[in-house]
Amino acid sequence: MIDLSALGAWARQAAHGMWAVSFGILLPGITFPKGYRLKVRVIHARDQYVRGIEPKDFWMIWVAGSEHDRWETVVKLADDPSSHFGDPGTYLYRYQLLRGDQTVALWFADPFGDAVGTGTVSAFDVDPAAAPFGWTDAAFRPPEVDEMVVYELNVREFNRDFQGVVVQLDHVLDLGVNTLELMPVTNVREDVEWGYTPLGYLAPDERLGGVIGFKQLVEACHGRGIAVIVDAVYAHAHPEFAFNLVYDSTGEPNPMMGDFASEFFPGRPGMDYRKPFTLDYFLAVNRHWLAEYHVDGFRYDYVPGMYDGNPVGPGYPELVYRTNQHSLTLPKFQGDGGCSTLIQCAEHLPDPIGILSRTYSNTAWQNGLLDRARDAAARGGVTEALAHQLDPEFLGYPADYHDPSTGYTMPVAPFQYVESHDHARFVNVFGTGGPRDLLGEAYGDRSRFYKVQPYVIALYTAKGIPMLWQGQELVENWGLPGSGIGRNLFERPLHWEYFYDAPGKALVRLHRIMGTLRRSSRALRARGFYYYFADADHLRQGVVAYRRRRRPPSTRRRAPRCPRSSSSCSSTSPTPARESGSPSRAPGAGTSASTERPCWTSAATTIGCTSMSPRTTAPSTRSANKRPACGRVDGCATA
């Protein structure tokens, strides 16, 4: 277990008024008897670019016999009249490693630092008036899986920085959203970057607002009932990440990096979870974000690089299991039946069903709806494949994860989306035109916004967890290259001016209506009943008709008991009987596959009937020309 409280840099004021800073870092295999020497280089931030003022160097002491080879020192911030050293303010520091008198690693940031400067430097503050952050979110509880509606955003592109996100939170809330998924917020090398090559893991990027700015964002979200999950890039890192740079430079065995599972960067080792230090490090990182920043979960990027297919292996499965167990000690994650409401979302696109079935992930990305929707939009018609995608359980997704060794059972569900940061905007599928961006990518034709509307209705009324990508409610229309550095090293800020034009107003209004409907209708949030009315005539007309309702009280699932020990679980089977209508069921056979009750007996009914036929006219509202088997259609939208 790595104890972060003794690592990084932390300043304290002595009785006589002088400040001293304790530094601690773990570098397994880097020891003084091998001839290594380590120095920390410190400078006041106000002196960083001043000619003639150099960082002050202090030698670190290797602690013999320490676990993971700890180096430490204490630096007194004695006043220096020729600089700001010794004054209150922000200080920047970096490490330099030598073997004998030869420098082997000129400059690397602290992998245990909890604050950063711009670029590859770490930071700490000296503030005599500093006080703990004033959290007021003790009563906040993250939503249960069935309640989640997610909004993914890139902080810089969305509205500049953390404070810019705070300014727009009421807009996001109006869309029915109760969970914010932030693309990576830790520091990166480049000024414009998606964040998937991190330099460090413990601190929000100073360019986005730093430690205080991020805490203020989380506090503001919780005050509005919105949970916050952060993108966790635990499969790979930037070449200048300390555990890359130091061990590449020295040739010593790397305690963290190596070939494991599937590597994201060809020829570049990622995180090797067969090495115990790797798992210990990222468990410490997770605990830090839960305690220090009050986040509500993690979206784990590129899980294929963390998971070798063994559900009880040392990589991703062990990380999410132990993070789940830790969350059970925190009051805010106490959910129904003792289940943790910690959100652990896996991006395992090759096998989202398997990752939900076999690990402690309670949510997962999957591109099924995105792919089926784009296929339908491109071909100008719909298929049953799209209809079935609205019911993940019919496709084999589990409703619960069950750990047979402990009896722990928890609800799970996949994310459903038609847009994400990895793909060009959905409206672009219907056509592009006009000017191109600096990369030569075409903008989508926003005059065809109405073709998007049925898919928005499907997204909000489908089973699973709806996820919006920033700006889709505005009919955002940036293009995106399929490959190359132009994907993630080019900034695409939201066109907030779209909020005021006709396409933007129409789509914002629809998202608000559907968000309110999902929030107010228990049938849409329940996982129990989805009936797709299979009718070839409907498909020829571009219509998908389906019904959502709550289970009858006699068949409604109770929250499973989630024991925290190895005692047996008293819950029902983790995988309920499938409830979707059969795709081959004849029209008029209006019962679900798992109940003999006819669908018209339910009073709590919400029916989605979306027409996705290509049209050249503005949208209209009408009844479907064929009624589903239940005999009624409510709120049928066509486009």
Same domain, 307 and 171: yes
Q: Residue 625: is its pLDDT beyond 50?
A: no
Same domain, 120 and 153: no
Determine how β-strand 409-411 pairs with β-strand 61-62. Answer: unpaired
Is 298 domain-assigned?
Answer: yes
Same domain, 224 and 303: yes
* Interval 524-537: pLDDT, tens: 987 778 899 889 99
| pLDDT for the residue numbered 120 | 92
Q: Residue 553: is its pLDDT beyond 60?
A: no
Same domain, 242 and 334: yes
Same domain, 80 and 186: no
Given 315, 330, 365, which residue is the final one in a domain? 365
| pLDDT for the residue numbered 612 | 63
- 334-336-340 Cα angle (round to 5): 40
CATH number, domain containing residue 84 = 2.60.40.10
- 121-126-130 Cα angle (round to 5): 125
| pLDDT for the residue numbered 373 | 97
Mean pLDDT over 135-153 rounds to: 97
Confidence label for 263 from pLDDT (cuts 50, 70 and 90): confident
Give the DSSP H/E element, type plus range, for residue 306: none
Whole-angstrom distance, CA of residue 560 vs CA of residue 411: 8
Q: Residue 555: is its pLDDT beyond 80?
A: no
User: Which amino acid makes up residue 63?
Assistant: V
Contacts (Cβ under 8 Å, ≥6 apart) of 509: none
Q: 101 lies in which domain range?
A: 4-126
Whole-angstrom distance, CA of residue 600 vs CA of residue 595: 13
Is 262 domain-assigned?
Answer: no
Given 365, 390, 405, which residue is the final one in a domain? 365
DSSP tag of 239: T
Is 495 domain-assigned?
Answer: no
Contact (CB, 8 A) for 625 and 473: no
Same domain, 324 and 359: yes
The number of folded domains in the chain is 2
Q: Which of 44-58, 158-172, 326-340, 354-368 has the lowest mean pLDDT?
A: 326-340
Q: What is the pTM of this model?
A: 0.89
Is 336 domain-assigned?
Answer: yes
| pLDDT for the residue numbered 611 | 62
Cα dihedral 459→462→463→468 (10° resolution): 10
Same domain, 45 and 83: yes
Confidence label for 562 from pLDDT (cuts 50, 70 and 90): low
Give the DSSP H/E element, type plus range, for residue 527: none
Same domain, 53 and 153: no
Would you state the structure tokens that stand for residue 246, as one six-digit string? 């130091």
CATH number, domain containing residue 323 = 3.20.20.80
Given 75, 92, 126, which residue is the final one in a domain? 126
Compute φ and ψ for 107, nearest 5 degrees: -165, 120
Is 537 domain-assigned?
Answer: no
Compute φ and ψ for 612, nearest 5 degrees: -120, 25
Is 416 domain-assigned?
Answer: no
Q: What percent of the chain has pLDDT over 90?
A: 77
DSSP tag of 493: -
Same domain, 117 and 158: no
Residue 435: how many CB atoms within 10 A of its CB? 6
Same domain, 118 and 177: no
Q: Closest Cα to residue 181, out of 518, 609, 470?
A: 470
Is 270 domain-assigned?
Answer: no
Same domain, 113 and 214: no
Same domain, 162 and 20: no
Is 584 domain-assigned?
Answer: no
